[in-house]
Amino acid sequence: MNIEQSPAQGAAGQQSATPGEGPASKELRVGVVGIGWAGQQHLMAYNGLDGVRIVALAGMEEELRNSLQAEYSIPNAFADWKDMLEHGGLDAISVAVPTFLHAPIAIAALERGIHVLSEKPIARNAVEGQAMVDAARKAGRVLDVAFNHRRRGDIKALKGVIDDGGLGRPYYAKASWLRRSGIPTLGSWFTNPELAGGGPLADIGVHALDYALHLLGEPKVVAVSAATHSELGPQGRGGGSAYSALASSHAFEVEDFASAFLRLEGGGTLVIEASWATYRETDDLLDFTVYGTDGGAELKVQGAPFPAVGQLRVFTDREGESADYVPPVLPGRAHDAVVEDFVTAVRGGEQAWGEHDGSLALYRAQIIDACYLSAREQREVRL
């Protein structure tokens, strides 16, 4: 079955709304590249939105691809993402594949006039990320990156407390995502820096960095001092059953633990920790601690990321007496919210598109790059 071609689609695959038909009223035709866990989250999210039709799917695993194609009644499925783009008829795609493929797929799609939602991190490094941002700006299309943890209900509740001045001026914060035995497939592409860009700092540490800067109001990072360690992975340890068994295609060539001290503009500090494997309690932990001039707060998500609501407490006083409290928290919507926000941006038209060019995710990549440089050269790196 062929996807119908838009009347406004040129020979090179450039696409735009049909004359007289605004982007908000047009049915959005989307494709998903990648059929693992992340790709399936995107499929479920798109499937729940009105006016959105999943018209293409690309993934290498034939049996799973066929199963998902049938489950979501997708008319076109491909083993190769290039064939999907060549087939045409797409307004937007999600890119949910190994990190080394983010840039080539996103740039190829943007050059065809297709809006792009990519999984995090934006790319292996800031150079590739910059190329993606440049392509989005040149094409005048949306480039978003899926930072789903900032959509958690507990993080949204804490954001409200901070934005309302409940903690005064934050001056110190620490964010971490720590696993005891959570290397995502020992010996897979995750453990190859040429394919993944890095270890836990790039994989889950970027989530901690994102929600921390988001909570703090996007302060500028002026300098970083970081250290990385590779102690358990090279010995074949740290790849627990929850993250699959040992694979042998790649050596373990990334870190399994990283920490970074970030100096923020205005004098504040932020500490980031990320671990795939370290001797600590069994349950994964996602957390955030912040100290401000009028209060502090702690968020702990034991068993991360699965509990919908973590333990959030706010510490403050009133007239010299403790006035600590637990804010009300509703569950967040994770990838559902990410995809919905992306679709809203796409439907917002050209004025909205320029505000979604991937530059925030690029800034995260620039910070991560600086952390890895600091760790390699054992010195502070200024941004």
pLDDT digits (tens, 9 = 90+) for 309-366: 999 999 999 998 999 999 999 999 999 999 999 999 999 999 899 999 999 999 999 9
Let me know: does 55 contact 119? Beta carbons within 8 Å: no
Tokens of 150: 């900032």
Token pair in block for residue 32: 């998903």
Q: Which residues contact 10 (CB under 8 A, 6 or more apart)?
A: none
By three-state DSSP, how is residue 86 classified? Answer: helix
User: In terms of Cα–Cα distance, which of 209, 227, 230, 206 is closest to 218?
Assistant: 209
Half-sphere exposure of 255 (CA within 13 A, CB side): 22
Q: Which amino acid, one-letter code, is at 197? A: G
**Given the structure tokens 């993934």, which residue do they identify?**
59
DSSP string across 253-311? -S-SEEEEEEEETTS-EEEEEEESB-SS-SS-EEEEEEEESS-EEEEEEETTTS-SS-E
Name the DSSP letter for residue 215.
H
355, 341 in Cβ contact below 8 A?
no
Q: Which helix (DSSP H) or strand (DSSP E) does residue 338 occupy?
A: helix 334-347
Reported CATH class of domain 153-331: alpha beta
Asked if 22 and 46 count as a contact pair (C-beta separation under 8 A), the reply is: no
Domain ranges across the chain: 28-148+336-356, 153-331
pTM reported for the whole predicted model:
0.91
Per residue of the chain (383 residues), what is the pLDDT tens digit? Answer: 333 333 233 333 444 433 234 455 689 999 999 999 999 999 999 999 999 999 999 999 999 999 999 999 999 999 999 999 999 999 999 999 999 999 999 999 999 999 999 999 999 999 999 999 999 999 999 999 999 999 999 999 999 999 999 999 999 999 999 999 999 987 789 999 999 999 999 999 999 999 999 999 999 999 999 999 999 999 888 987 655 545 556 789 999 999 999 999 999 999 999 999 999 999 999 999 999 999 999 999 999 998 999 999 999 999 989 999 999 999 999 999 999 999 999 999 998 999 999 999 999 999 999 999 999 999 999 99
Return the structure tokens found at 11. Answer: 């020979």
Q: Report the CATH superfamily, name and number, of domain 28-148+336-356.
A: NAD(P)-binding Rossmann-like Domain (3.40.50.720)
CB 34 within 8 A of CB 349: no
Task: List CB contacts of 8: < 8 A, sequence separation 6 or more.
Answer: 15, 16, 17, 18, 19
Cis peptide before 305 (omega within 30 of 0): yes
